[in-house]
Amino acid sequence: MGVTGEQLGIMALADALARAEDEGYDLVEVAPNASPPVCRIMNYGKFKFQQSKKLHQAKKSQTTVQLKEIRLRPKTEEHDLQVKLRHMRRFLEQNNKVKVTVLFRGREIVYATLGRELLQGIAENLSDLGVVDQHPRLEGRRMVMIVSPKKT
């Protein structure tokens, strides 16, 4: 294939190299497994530069989502809960997932329903910003719920 994209047909390697040399470009093997192998006459340095620019642009537009954790106890007071809710809202606005964990100590595990109700209330409170990915689930002495930001 020539510089402008036209087909040059099947030719010997020496002829192809000479033609690329005459035009001031490089002979690049595009499909080595084809029979016969397919080569292209191009400016290889410019091609590599454009590839790196595309890769850089793709990385720039890519966003990473972090998982932020908020820990509570079943007997957390109302004001403290409101402070934690403000943190959760900020995390969701920044497009981060939030893992809400209720820790049970000692005999508090008997009142797992309190923890479930607490997490349900949090889910209702955050319903305008996020959606529940993982509903409240008891894992040992912890009850865990994961909330993701809504797609905008």
Assigned domain for 137 exists: yes
Please say if the pLDDT value at position 64 is more than 80: no
Give which of 71, 126, 136 is closest to 102, Cα–Cα: 71
Least confident of 18-22, 76-80, 120-124: 18-22
Q: Are residues 89 and 52 in the same domain?
A: no
CA distances from 120 to 47, 104, 108, 131, 147 (A): 55, 17, 18, 12, 11
Q: Are residues 98 and 139 in the same domain?
A: yes
Please compute the mean of the pLDDT values over residues 82-87 and round it to a whole number. 93
- 77-86's contacts with Cβ under 8 Å and 24+ in sequence apart are 81/118, 85/122, 85/125, 85/126
Please compute the mean of the pLDDT values over residues 124-139 and round it to a whole number. 90
Which pTM value belongs to this model?
0.60
Range of the domain at 126: 67-149
Least confident of 15-19, 73-77, 88-92: 15-19
Assigned domain for 3 exists: no
Number of separate domains in the chain = 2
Please compute the mean of the pLDDT values over residues 69-79 and round it to a whole number. 91
